[in-house]
Structure 1
Amino acid sequence: MAKVVCVLYDDPIDGYPQSYARDDLPEIKTYPGGQTLPTPKAVDFQAGTLLGSVSGELGLRSYLESLGHTLVVTSDKDGPDSVFEKELHDAEIVISQPFWPAYLTAERIARAPNLKLALTAGIGSDHVDLQAAIERGITVAEVTYCNSISVSEHVVMMILGLVRNYIPSYQWVVKGGWNIADCVTRSYDVEGMHVGTVAAGRIGLAVLRRLKPFDVHLHYFDRHRLSEEVEKELNLTWHATVEDMVKVCDVVTINCPLHPETENLFDEKMLSKMKRGAYLVNTARGKICDRDAIVRALESGQLAGYAGDVWFPQPAPRDHPWRTMPHHGMTPHISGTSLSAQTRYAAGTREILECWFEKRPIRDDYLIVDGGKLAGVGARSYSAGNATGGSEEAARFKIA
């Protein structure tokens, strides 16, 4: 029987919810483009409940234990004395989330001789050293598309929040003020701006579709160019390089995977090519941006604002400069873990586990690494390599 180690984020500080703001979720059967939602044989949870925290357990315990498997659920994931580190040595399956990643470095993989499946409850498997997984023959899978629309909604919210100076204006209300001039000195209209996305996959294309009604000029860079039909439908301008695109954009949103080619893509040099006073939104991965270069660009005015919900490492240390830099709209990594998204990625996790234990093929859409090579969606989205370097810094969050 298998040992499954599941790393999830902590419960709310006032305890696991006894009730919720809404009683149900809208019914969605397919994603844009026709891919079906997860189709497990059964689930053991109520849709719309908190599944991504420790007490939620992704709704997996009764299913796994009914088959005789052992499930260990923890939020303690960083450092040599963490529960994750202690339980890893005989784990066959590790389940983690991008929002609270259990970094599977090459060193950790070497200390886990029984590990056969690294499963991401969500989208994005860069917290796994993919090269080490390839060399060890470990299968890496994620629940592709489960929260792509969730993230695209978050991107649009952050663009509007930055450009309209929403957060500082809200704070004046909380402080009891009525400081209209202070609120509007950094407030503009999005209408007529040039907005570009780095990558136009599921999330990037969904962002473009949601922005079209705002009467903006839409741009994109992607190594896989969209069809002529889609370009005409959305009146898109394609750019052959990121550098060409950022020169003309008032707003840039990053929606590409993290791999060796995109790590630190937005460094001092790239930021200098952007229009002065542009806005940058990053809900992809924190390591795609040079941490300190972002701070300097905000301080100098090269960037008018930066927002995102992705950091490196995660959780971000308490002294991470993005917490205190000017004109930011940062949140913890929440864009893809709304209660709606959790219902889908918990069901997708269950579907993948059912396939694994029943020795049925995992959907091609869910595979990142299989059979010692990049596979499925991973072959189209990732490059073999390692993006986990430096992840040990996450341990500073609980020490500080």
Structure 2
Amino acid sequence: MSEWLTTVLSRAQSVNDWLSPKREQSLALLRDAKWPTRKTEAWKYTPLRAVENAQFTGALTADAPVAAIPGLQSIDLVFVNGCFDAAQSSQYLPQGLSITQLSEVSEADKAWALASFAAIKPSRHLFGLVNDALATEGAIIDVVANAKIATPIRIVNQLTENAEAHNRVLVRVAEQASLTVIEQTLGDAYSFNTCFAEYDIADDASLEHYRFALQGDKSMSVGGSHFNLANRSQLNSSMVGFGSSLSRIDVDVTHGGEHAFAKLNAIYLLDGEELFDLHSTIEHAQPHGTTEENVRGIVADRATAVFNGRIHIHRDAQKTLAELNNRNLLMSNKAVINTKPELEIYADDVRCAHGATIAQIDKTSLYYMQSRGLSRAQAQVMLNFGFINELVDQMPNLALAEWLRPQLRARFAKMDVK
């Protein structure tokens, strides 16, 4: 067991609150867990040396102003170095929406929150168990039946030097309700965080979801977004990740009801010696479910990308339609991409497909654009952007798409192509 995990187990003993029954279950699993190594399939290409014996002495500063997203009106929940920042968070909530801090949950809400906590997120996620044990800061978001919450909720986790944070979000979208949630992690300094969110989407409800893992450099982040879909519920999720010394996101979607629909788009852009790891698991447990998953990545210099996408069709999930596609561009002969799409099918009346491609920029297209007066760098930016712009265009929120595009162009322009 790692020195850091030993410290986690010791610290968790002092956490005592209304979530303690669930924390004890996760602690029991943690005590028996083995630290992931190269022989651990789920961590085969993602070394944990950076955090294995890490020691975080505490943030040097908590002064971390969070910028608004231009053109976006949002309900902001801001956490700085793991602590809720009321001054930077929104105070007004529309009718039908309630947001409660973990430490302030009412007796009336404790029953369902306790039952849902760590129930949607699978117990196989080691760092999810760590989050179960240590997350005392976070929020419970509840949308009542038939409520259409038009203003997006933006959950921001800002980290500064030497910070360690473990935040948790639990979201319940009741019958025929709709909600938009943006998860955003910021900060390039040496730090570590586990940010996990669980979403329970009821019958005929819909969730528009975004996760922006745009931290880089020395930051370390291991988190996840986990969804349970009921009858006829809909999920539209978009994720964008930049690499860092350690950046991993686990996504789990369970089709727990019939006629559920899930659309997942993901983009990752890596440079230098950055690492980004995306693991997704789609569980089709009921019939007539649909999943569309598209993942695109661009990897430059000596960076490493990892994608593992698994679609599991259970025996009773007849009439399932599922498709998984991972496309990658290598910008350097030293860059590495490890991709593993999986289909596991036990039903006989389904339509499923999966595929993965790894390629380089077409030299003919590059030459053509240079012959029209563009520099090599300009041509590469345009070709790269064209490769992922289709997924950006599919974002339902136009303000987020417009905010993201210049950041992607700036990222392309700095990429070291060899």
TM-score normalised over the length of structure 2: 0.30
By percentage of residues, which structure has more helix?
A: 1
TM-score normalised over the length of structure 1: 0.32
Q: Which has the higher contact order (CA 8 A, sep 6+)?
A: 1
By percentage of residues, which structure has more strand?
A: 2
